[in-house]
Amino acid sequence: MKDLTIRNLSKTYFDPYAGTNVTAVHDVSLKVEQGEFVCIVGPSGCGKTTILNMIAGFIPYTGGEILVGGRPVKGPGPDRGVVFQSFALFPWRTVLENVAFGPKMRGVRKVEREQIAHEYLALAKLTEAAGRYPAELSGGMQQRVGVVRALANEPDVLLMDEPFASVDAQTRMTLQEELTRIWQEKRPTVIFITHDVAEAVFLANRVVALSKGRVLDDIAVDLPRPRSWDALNDDARFKELSNRVLQLVRSA
Amino acid sequence: MLWRLSSALWFCAPFMVLLVLWAVFIPYFDVNPRLFPHLSSVVQAGIEGVEDGTLIRHIGASLLRVAVGTVLALLIAVPLGVAMGVSPIISSFLTPLFRFFSVLAGIAWIPIATLWFGYGFGAITFVIFNAVFFIVTYNTLLGVSTIPLQVRNAAASLGAGRWAMLTEVLLPGALPNIVTGIRTGLGFAWRGLIAAEMIATNVGLGYMLFVARDFYRTEVIVLGMIVIGVLWLLLDRLVLAPIERATIERWGMVQRA
């Protein structure tokens, strides 16, 4: 696991319908320490997914720089694991093979990579599902696979793009609790994108509020771990932090 | 197993009814065998054809042409379709050509094919090749371009290079469309084959039908028609459908029809 530095990052693209240049991300700087869990929160269209896609290397940036462990980002790579809102599992591979995919690409032998995959599946309580295909699983289970598939490749940074936005509310709460548990166990560096303020505060060490492509504020979350919804639902500090972030995002 | 058996029986039932009607009404109305044969004489022609080997020879020739033409077409069509799927430039350059030639694919090629390859195996295999090639290429292109961008991104961020992207993502991702392409393509190929064999050869099921007409041997014509239909059903049910079940249906990429 390594740290991530974003300096004066910006993204401008030409909008053929408007006929003008549009600035999606404007001069964003952010430092994420090794083992930190940072949530970037903001409304739709604030540029948060664009930032994540640039860190992942899926789209090029037009200004500034992104450094992972000191090295500049050029295109996608296994040092940055990604968890997608749409899960993006390989339907033609079993759950086990999905999780073993990253190690396979690294050239890890079959026996070893399946052992790694089993280990991570156990972490997400998915041992029973190892031999099944993604289409046979519920949305919540599919995203558990998505999370451990990215983790099993031991990336320096884990990038999560609204990963729980397409599962039902109860499952989402369970997944959020599991994610904090897994994070405490493995301590990956995480950048988590969401529009859900409560989710951001629940998960993060730090919440970065974003609007119209600019960073509004950077708020430290000092809630104790392990975190659970039962404990935090009525927690005064949790409410206070959530309200602060919410005011910030809404005022912009 | 029981379910399978009953669905097979259910599939055969309407054909049984047809056979019974045939066996009863053709003798009852005393139809001239030069216009339509008795069931018994068709069965007789079938037995004779198997015994003297002529039927087997015709079937063998037809199947060999289909197999060779299809395999050659797949070997070129799938890589080309993938290349078109990943490269917008190659795709937009070749698409108009494919639109044009997919209309022509079929026996329109027979006259020129016979000039190039002579009568027989080469010309007919070429027709099969054409029927399969354009449809499979187009479907592969379609399949590759419908793979969600996120799935390709996921593979890239897990460390997949160009080759792994091809074998682990693009080909399996395009497989549902490729299989559909093969099924439709082979359907066209099979029809094209019979037509081509009537014109450009001296062996094969199409030839068998066409020559029998000269001798008013309606029992051979009808036998040939039955064999053509049954062979296609067997090919589709016993070869293509199981491939589909074992792969893309298992993966949940298509719903069972």
Q: Identify the pLDDT of residue B199.
A: 86
Residue type, A187: R
Chain A: give the shortest CA distance to residue B78, in Å. Answer: 18
Who wins on pLDDT, B50 or B248?
B50
- Cα separation of A52 and A67, whole Å? 13
Q: What is the pLDDT of residues B93-106, one digit of tens each?
A: 988 888 888 777 67
Beta bridge partners of A22: A13
> Does residue A22 sit in helix, strand or coil?
strand
Residue B21 in tokens: 């009607």
Torsions phi, psi for A214 (to 5 deg): -125, 150
Inter-chain CB proximity A133 and B153 less than 8 Å: no
DSSP SS3 for A210: strand
Segments of chain A scoring below 70 in pLDDT:
1
Amino acid at B2: L
Name which of A81, A90, A133 is nearest B157 (Cβ-Cβ): A81
Whether B21 has a pLDDT exceeding 90, the answer reads yes
Which of A225, A213, A216 shows the shortest CA–CA distance to A185? A225
Nearest chain B residue (CA) to A77: B157
Quote ipTM for the complex: 0.92
Nearest CA in chain B to A57: B157
Query: Strand, coil or helix: what is A163?
Result: coil
Beta carbons of A23 and A214 less than 8 angstroms apart: no
A57 touches chain B (CB under 8 A): yes
CA-based nearest distance A235→chain B, Å: 37
Beta strands in chain A (DSSP E): 4-15, 20-32, 37-41, 63-68, 71-72, 80-83, 157-161, 189-194, 206-211, 214-220
Q: What number is the average pLDDT over the span B221-235?
A: 92
Interface of B with A (CB under 8 A): 148, 150-151, 153-161, 164, 168-169, 172-173, 175, 247-248, 250-253
> Rounded to an integer, what distance in angstroms lies between the CA atom of residue A250 and that of residue A238?
18
The first and second tokens of residue B110, run together, are 């027979």
C-alpha B243/C-alpha B257 separation (Å) is 14
Q: Which residue has the tokens 């029992």?
A: B219
Cα–Cα distance measured from residue A66 to residue A72, given in angstroms and rounded to the nearest whole number: 6
Q: Do A88 and B160 touch (CB under 8 A)?
A: no
How crowded is residue A64: how many other Cβ atoms within 10 Å of its Cβ?
16
CA distance B122 to chain A (A): 38
The predicted pLDDT at position B255 comes to 57
Mutation pick from A89, A90, A154 vs chain B, by most beta carbons of B within 10 Å, is A90
pLDDT of residue A190: 96
How far separated are the first and last CA of chain B, in Å rounded?
A: 19
Interior CA angle at A161 toward A157 and A165, to 5°?
A: 140
CA-closest candidate to residue B70, choices B228, B235, B247, B220 = B235
Bridging pattern class, strands A189-194 and A37-41: parallel
Full-model pTM:
0.84
What's residue A1's pLDDT?
60
Between the two ends of chain A, the Cα-to-Cα distance in Å is 34
* Burial class (CB within 10 angstroms; exposed 0-12, middle 13-18, buried 19+) of A202: buried
Distance CA B128, CA B73 (A): 8
d(CA B10, CA B2) in angstroms, rounded, equals 12
Contact A105 B156 (CB under 8 A): no
Q: Higher confidence at residue A121 or residue B4? A: A121
Whether B254 shows a pLDDT value over 80: the answer reads no
| Chain A residues touching B243 at Cβ < 8 A | none
pLDDT for res B160: 95
pLDDT tens for each residue of B104-136 = 767 788 888 889 998 889 999 999 999 899 999
Residue B257: pLDDT over 80: no
Annotate chain B with three-state secondary structure. CHHHHHHHHHHHHHHHHHHHHHHHHHHHCCCCCCCCCCHHHHHHHHHHHHHHCHHHHHHHHHHHHHHHHHHHHHHHHHHHHHHHHHCHHHHHHHHHHHHHHHHHCCHHHHHHHHHHHCCCHHHHHHHHHHHHHHHHHHHHHHHHHCCCHHHHHHHHHCCCCHHHHHHHHHHHHHHHHHHHHHHHHHHHHHHHHHHHHHHCCCCCHHHHHHHHHHCCCHHHHHHHHHHHHHHHHHHHHHHHHHHHHHHHHCCCCCCCC
- Per-residue confidence (pLDDT) for residue A45, from 0 to 100: 83
Q: Check if the beta carbon of residue B87 is closer than 8 Å to that of residue B144.
A: no
3-class DSSP state of A70: coil
Check if A153 contacts B (Cβ < 8 Å): yes
In degrees rounded to 5, what are phi and psi of residue B206?
Answer: -60, -45
The pLDDT, as a whole number, for residue B105 is 67
Q: With cut-offs at 50, 70 and 90, classify the pLDDT of residue B90.
A: confident
Write out the DSSP string of A117-135.
Answer: HHHHHHHTT-GGGTTS-GG
Distance from CA of A129 to the nearest CA of B (A): 14
Residue A224 backbone class (left: φ over 0; alpha: ψ -120 to 50; beta: rest): beta
Cβ(B121)–Cβ(B193) below 8 Å: no
pLDDT level of residue B180 (50, 70, 90 thresholds): confident
Look-up: residue for tokens 């992104």? Answer: A66
